[in-house]
Structure 1
Amino acid sequence: MKAVIFDLDDTLFDHTTSATAAIHAWVPQLGGTPTDELVAQWFVIEQHNFDQWLAGALTHQEQRRGRLRDFLPLVGQPVPADDDELDQVFTGFLDSYQASWSAFPDARPALEVARSNGWRIGVLTNGSTRQQNAKLEAIGLAELVDVVSTSEQLGFSKPAPQAYQLTCEALGVNPADTLMIGDNLELDVVGAHAAGLSAEHLDRAAGITLAELVRATS
C-alpha cells in the first residue's frame, strides 16, 4: 500500500453531530422547538437537495435554498420568496454549523499512523471545494493531508470511477496500491472497489474506529 484516501463527512469530520448541534441552536432562533424528529427530517431534506446538486440539477447555493423551502414549513415559518432573504436565513444555520465543526477523536491518530507508514494521504469528498477545505483547516487536519479532491473540483462525484482514479493520479499512485476508507458502503467501498482500489468500511455503529482500520491494513 502506498496511499490511503479518506472520505471526509462522517469519516474524519463529524458532520452528523455538528449539524445536529446547529439545528438545536438555530431552530429556536426561528421560533421553533428542536426535536429528534425535526433533526431527522433535516437530514432527509439535506440529502435530497444535495443529491440534486451532485446530479447538476441545482447549484450549490440553490440546494441550500431548496433545503429551506422544504424545512421552514416544518417549523411553522413562511418561505421567503426572495432568494437573498433565503440566503440570509440559511446563514443562521451555517453560522451555528461552523461553530460546531469537530473531528472525530480517532481521525488525527489514523492520519498519523498512515503518515508513519510512509503513505500518501488523500481526502475524496462529494462536496464544495471551499467548504470542505475549510472543514479540514478548522478541525486541524489539513496539515496531514497531501491531496483534497472534491466532486466540485473533479467534475465527478463518488461512485463514478473517475473520482477515485483522478484522486490516485493526483497522489501519484496507482489505484491498486491505494486504500479507500469511508462510512458510506456504496460510495466509499463498492465504488472504490469498482475503480480498482482496496477499500474498508468504517462502521462506527459496530464499534469500528478509524485508527483501527488503518493499523489493520498497515
Structure 2
Amino acid sequence: MKAVVFDLDNTLFDHSGSAERALREWVAGLGIMPTDEVVAEWFAIEERVYDAYLRRELTHQGQRRARLREFLPVLGREVPAAEAELDVVFEGYLKQYRGSWVAFPDARPALEVARGNGWRIGVLTNGNTTQQNAKLEAIGLAEYVDVVCASESLGVSKPDPLAYQRVCEELGVAPADALMIGDNLELDVLAARAAGMTARHLDRSTGHGLLDLL
C-alpha cells in the first residue's frame, strides 16, 4: 500500500454531530423547540436535496435555498420569496454549523499512523471545494493531507469511477496501491473497489473506528 484515501463527512469530520448541534441552536434561536422529529426532517431534506446538487441539478447555493423552501414550512415559518432573503436565513444556520465543526477523536491519530507508514494521504469528498477544505483547516487536519479532491472541482461525484481514479492520479499512485476508507458502503467501499482500489467500511455503530481499519 502506497496511499490511503479518506472520505471526509462522517469519516474524519463529524458532520452529523456538527449539523445536529447547529440545527438545534439555530431552531431554538428562532423561538421553536428543536424536537427530534424536526431534526430528523432536516436531515431527510438535506439528503434529498444534496443528491440533486451532486447530480448537477442545483448549484451549491441553490441546494441551500431548496433546503429552506422545504424546511421552513416544517417550522411553520413563511418562505421568503427572494433568494437573497433565503440566503440571509440560511446564514443563521451556517454560522452555527461552522462553530460546531469537530473531527472525530480518532481522525488525527489515524492520519498520524498513515503518515508513519509512509503513505500518501488523500481526501475524496462529495461536496463544495471551498467548504470541504475549510473544514479540514478548522478541525486541524489539513496539514496531514496531501491531496483533497472534492466533487465540485473534479466535475464528477462518487460513485463515478473517475472520482477514484482522479484522486489516485493526484496522489501519484495506481488504484491497486491505494486504500479507501469511508462510512458510506456504496460510495466509499463498493464503488472504490469497482474502480480498482482496496476499500474498508467505517461503521462506528459496531464500536470500531479508523485505527481498526489501517
TM-score, normalising length from structure 2? 0.99
Matched residue SS, 1:131: helix
Q: Residue 117 of structure 2 corresponds to which residue in structure 1?
A: 117
In structure 2, distance between residues paired with 1:2 and 1:191: 20
Q: Residue 141 of structure 2 corresponds to which residue in structure 1?
A: 141
**Deviations 1:76-123 (CA, angstroms, capped at 9, x unpaired):** 110000000000000000000000000000000000000000000000
Following superposition, the deviation at residue 171 of structure 1 comes to 0.2
Unmatched segments (≥5 aa) in structure 1:
none
Following superposition, the deviation at residue 190 of structure 1 comes to 0.5
**Deviations 1:189-218 (CA, angstroms, capped at 9, x unpaired):** 00100100000000000111111211xxxx
Q: Residue 153 of structure 2 corresponds to which residue in structure 1?
A: 153
For residues 13-162 of structure 1, the aligned pairs below 5 Å read 13-162=13-162
Identity of aligned residues (%): 67
C-alpha contact 1:27 1:33 (8 A) present in aligned 2 = yes
In structure 1, distance between residues paired with 2:28 and 2:203: 33
C-alpha RMSD of matched pairs (Å):
0.5
Q: Residue 201 of structure 1 corresponds to which residue in structure 2?
A: 201
Kindly report structure 1 stretches of 4+ aligned residues shifted beyond 3 Å: none
Unmatched segments (≥5 aa) in structure 2:
none
Following superposition, the deviation at residue 37 of structure 1 comes to 1.1
In structure 1, distance between residues paired with 2:211 and 2:143: 18
Q: Residue 175 of structure 2 corresponds to which residue in structure 1?
A: 175
Following superposition, the deviation at residue 28 of structure 1 comes to 1.6
Number of matched pairs: 214
Matched residue SS, 1:105: coil
**Deviations 1:118-146 (CA, angstroms, capped at 9, x unpaired):** 00000000000000000000000000000
Matched residue SS, 1:181: strand
Letter in 2 for 1:77: R
In structure 2, distance between residues paired with 1:42 and 1:210: 28
TM-score, normalising length from structure 1? 0.97
